[in-house]
Structure 1
Amino acid sequence: MKQAAEHAVEADSLVKTYPGGVTALAGLSITVRPGEVFGLLGPNGAGKSTTVNILTTLVRPDSGTASIAGHGILSRPDQVRRLIGVVSQRSGADPSASGRDNLLLQGRLYGMGGPALTRRVEELLGRFDLGEAAGRPVRTYSGGMQRRLDVALGLVHRPRVLFLDEPTTGLDPEARAAMWEEIARLAAGDSLAILLTTHYLDEADRLASRLAIVDRGRVVAEGTPDGLKAELRGDAVHLELSEPPDEQEARSLVEMLPGVREITLDGRRLSARADDGAAAVPVAIAALDQAGMPVAAVTVARPSLDDVYLRYAGRRFAQTDEPVAGGAR
């Protein structure tokens, strides 16, 4: 029990299969420390939301264990629910009630009341820039305002762990940037642990102090965003060919170049890692052009989380973003 209490969230070998034989989780394990933003990065269907549903006691795992601040999700679910705040993908606010009334009701559900609750509600309205709209029905709020209210609702009772499940999905760029700033401010607090699920690479890169890349219900890589990218030595080189090439021939040509490795081909897009991208590109272009495979466009960049995903999952992030049957998320 001592080891579990050292973590805000601990999950070990979680397995969940939905009717129809769809495996949402296939042995997922993570730990989240107090005071950090931990990102679960993966495409739709990777198992992120199922993980959140299990950790917030909404779904029982088929096997595996999990705890919140040392309290088992199966053995002490009531205690777990008092320690967590949840911001789900869909707003939990009553659209016909005002923002203030939603916050007051949320506090009362957690046993709060009197002047202490009133002060807490006013504090949150001010913090999330909702003071002027506090008396209006939530249905009149913009998408960004509704999301800020959702986060405020999750914080009323001062939880130890805040779950943010795809918090910026559907927001316009301005509202999304504002939500990023608010999450960063939350992360600067004392000991609140934040578990963030996202399928946005830039969001995970910017907000997560540590992250786990999830693919088909398993963690395939874990670490800091900078640390994971640093594992990929050299430059990422992407060549867009004019026509779909003979895969074996194109791969063989590029494999012969010095300092080039980890070659993948997706249609007309050939990607590789190179010790020196600037030096490798003209040689690669010349070799492909001589073989009748002219290059239409070239990109050389430092490693990104997309490159990390490609290395550990064997395909580009965008290739995995597809619907999954049977309820797995």
Structure 2
Amino acid sequence: EEPSAMLGHMYTDKDCGLNSLLDFADVITYESENTSVEQIRELAKTTKVFPAEKSLYTSQHRGREKSLFEKLDIPCASYQIVNSLAELKQASEEVGLPAVLKTTTEGYDGKGQFVIKESSQLSEAWQTIGNCELILEGFVEFDRELSIIAVRNEHNEQVFYPLVQNIHHDGILRYTIAPAQQIIEPVQKMAEMYMSKLLDELGHVGVLTLELFETNGGLVANEIAPRVHNSGHWTMEGATTCQFENHIRAITGMPLGSTKPRQEIAAMINIIGSTANVDEVLKMPNAHLHLYDKVERPERKLGHINVLADTPKELFAMMNKLKKFLPS
């Protein structure tokens, strides 16, 4: 089912496959934080691998992410690691309720999470996703969910894309508005400062994404992703240099490209579960269709649509024509 299998080589044997990969690869990168740290460490002994092990290792565990945020003075939710119902009950008193119980590892598109509003739900939450190491995070009252994408190369050249607004439904990103509207320059600069701290501390080479909450008190960090990101797909048509090209530039030692938007505003709309009626998108000016050739199934991201406009009013009028792809 992997679309990339139609375009590139497949390696299914853990050891022989890696050895074959090393025969022709000058540099290696990855597109998921669920990649094996051990394999990345082994590959890095004989060839360049970006992002490096530290970024991958940190992003694979929510506790390590939060610890990194604290070390770098990047605001984040209060939290406690728990390994039993008794520890969860104790943590709920220290963190406070409401709170969100999450698995410390894996979890994608809202999976492996339970919002606890009152203490009577603690046992249910533990039974639902417990029996493993979990993290209890204080609930963040936010106005919007934002993200920022940055790129760094080996020469410590760093570039930043504008903050974008992300709209989720049932834990799945449904659409992104880029740039996020009504973001004042100090907020953008603050997000860039957080990113620069992360890039430097991790020695990160390539694209790095930081998901944030916008609150009355400022930006609050949620999590990082050491890879190109769904919320950055708008850059394919919407930015001078897209996130994918800048990632390749970074890991191959080339100068980084401009992150300036091509038009005033853009949107990225995920196609979820079904590709029915996507041909209609091709008839729309300033709308760009990208399909991933994935097998259809409920809640699966099968592609996305990028829409560009000169004004917010024009953008939202175009999005209204695409409302069949948006959550009700």
Q: Same fold (TM over 0.5)?
A: no
Higher relative contact order (CA 8 A, sep 6+): 1
Which of these two proteins has the greater Rg computed from alpha carbons? 1
